[in-house]
A = this chain, B = another copy of it.
Amino acid sequence: MPDATLLETFDSPTTEPFLIEHVNEEFTSVCPITGHPDFGRVTVRYEPDGACIELKSLKLYFQSFRNEGAFYEAVTNQIRDDLRDCMTPRWMEVVTEWKGRGGIHSRITATAGEEL
Question: Which residues of A come within 8 Å of B, CB atoms?
Answer: 10, 12-14, 16-26, 28, 36-37, 39, 52, 55-56, 58-59, 62-63, 66-67, 71-74, 76-77, 99-111
Contact B21 A108 (CB under 8 A): yes
Contact of A102 among B18, B52, B56, B67 (CB under 8 A): B56
CB of A19, distance to nearest CB on chain B (Å): 4
CB of A100, distance to nearest CB on chain B (Å): 6
A111 to chain B: closest residue by CB: B18
Contact B77 A63 (CB under 8 A): no
Contact B37 A66 (CB under 8 A): yes
A31 to chain B: closest residue by CB: B55
